[in-house]
Amino acid sequence: MNLVGAVVQLCALVVAFRPRVPPVYSAVGGGAVSLAITAYHPLTGTRGDATFWLLIEVPALLALTMLAARRAPLAALVPGLAVSTILLRMVWPGPPSLILAGCAGWSLGAIGVAAAGLYLRSLDGNRRRAVAQAVRDQRLALARDLHDFVAHDVSGMLVQAQAARLAPELPPRIEDALRRIEEGGQRALTSLDRTVHMLNEPARGPAPGIDGLRDLADGFSPTVQVNLAVEAEQISREASATVYRVVTEALTNVRRHAPRASTVDIAVTREGNMIHIQVHDDGGSGGQAEAGDRGDRSGGGRFAGLGRRGGFGLAGLAEVLGTVGGSLSAGPHGTGWRVTATVPV
């Protein structure tokens, strides 16, 4: 029986170090098997031998006790109790004083390794808190920079555009350009305010999802008609937030690379366990967009242009979606540009 216990504990210890198996399961399972073997001797009236296999089983149980105490302290009771009572295999039946003294002595080892596991658990907690505090400090620093520098510069551009519109007898095209600059500056300030609040209040609530697409479309641009069609229900909050992010990046792509676009069609539908997203712009007012507007969107592969002018928003989203079973592609479509994505429900 000691051989069986040693083999089981070694197997449990090996499994405990596998990344996909929580060590708590191995500790509880291995401890339960050891307790069952220990209980077998008093129940059957047999006495075990202090063999070599016992010297293997006990260290393995102690290691499992420490691992369990580090992850889930209550789970450490099972392998710890197995270590404390393992001497019953050799001394049962015997004098009660000998049994109590033996179990008390063996329990000291279990208590020691459990204390070591609890100490490591406290170190893990301190490390997590330190990382969280560092992340918060970085968020606050970024929020201050956005507020003190970026928002200040955007406000200055907005004031200059507003002042220029006061000049008399402006040509209609100049007046329209200044108006669009002013509106874009106001939208940018609104987005900066939202970002600063988000960075200062990281736990303010869930990220926007499909329910926020209507407000996103309505506030995109007064000169662009955005047609939104959403037919997706009963999806997870994470999937909903991902859909919102894909549409946001696609609209940002339109704003940066197709300023003359007059229509944008957004369709969000669900088919089985996948959500399909299409964002298509017409590229210009009723015709082909100028080369300067579209060249950086289509050259050098699906996302090469985005890396040169628009950052890596869509390219980064494509990589993220690919890791979870989704996809994202972008390319010319008719006179405009189309972004197509699939998001797992």
Give the DSSP per-residue string, 263-312.
Answer: EEEEEEEEETTEEEEEEEE-SSSSSPPPHHHHHHHHTTSSSHHIIIIITT
Confidence of residue 3 (pLDDT cuts 50, 70, 90): low
The dihedral built from the CA positions of residue 270, 304, 194 and 164, taken in this order, carries a sign that is: negative
Q: Is the CB of residue 261 less than 8 Å from the CB of residue 282?
A: yes
Q: Is the CB of residue 86 less than 8 Å from the CB of residue 36?
A: no
Residues 6+ apart with CB under 8 A from 199: 139, 140, 142, 143, 146
Q: Is the CB of residue 247 less than 8 Å from the CB of residue 279?
A: yes
The reported pLDDT for the residue numbered 50 is: 59
Cα 326 to its chain centre, rounded Å, is 16
- Domains of the chain by residue range: 2-128, 207-345
Residue 272 pLDDT > 90, yes or no? no
pLDDT per residue over 136-164, tens digit each?
888 777 777 776 677 777 777 877 887 88
Across residues 293-315, what is the average pLDDT?
45
Across residues 68-92, what is the average pLDDT?
84
The reported pLDDT for the residue numbered 254 is: 84
Mean pLDDT of the chain, nearest integer: 78
Confidence of residue 19 (pLDDT cuts 50, 70, 90): low
Residue 119 pLDDT > 90, yes or no? yes
End-to-end Cα spacing for the chain: 50
Residue 184: count other Cβ atoms within 10 Å of its Cβ: 17
The reported pLDDT for the residue numbered 49 is: 64
The CATH architecture assigned to 207-345 reads: 2-Layer Sandwich (3.30)
Long-range CB pairs of 152-158, under 8 A, 24+ apart, other chains included: 154/185, 154/188, 154/189, 154/192, 155/185, 155/189, 157/181, 157/185, 158/182, 158/185, 158/186, 158/189
pTM above 0.85, yes or no: no
Main-chain dihedrals φ then ψ at residue 286, nearest 5 degrees: 80, 10
The reported pLDDT for the residue numbered 76 is: 87
Closest of 210, 207, 319, 307 to residue 256, by C-alpha: 307
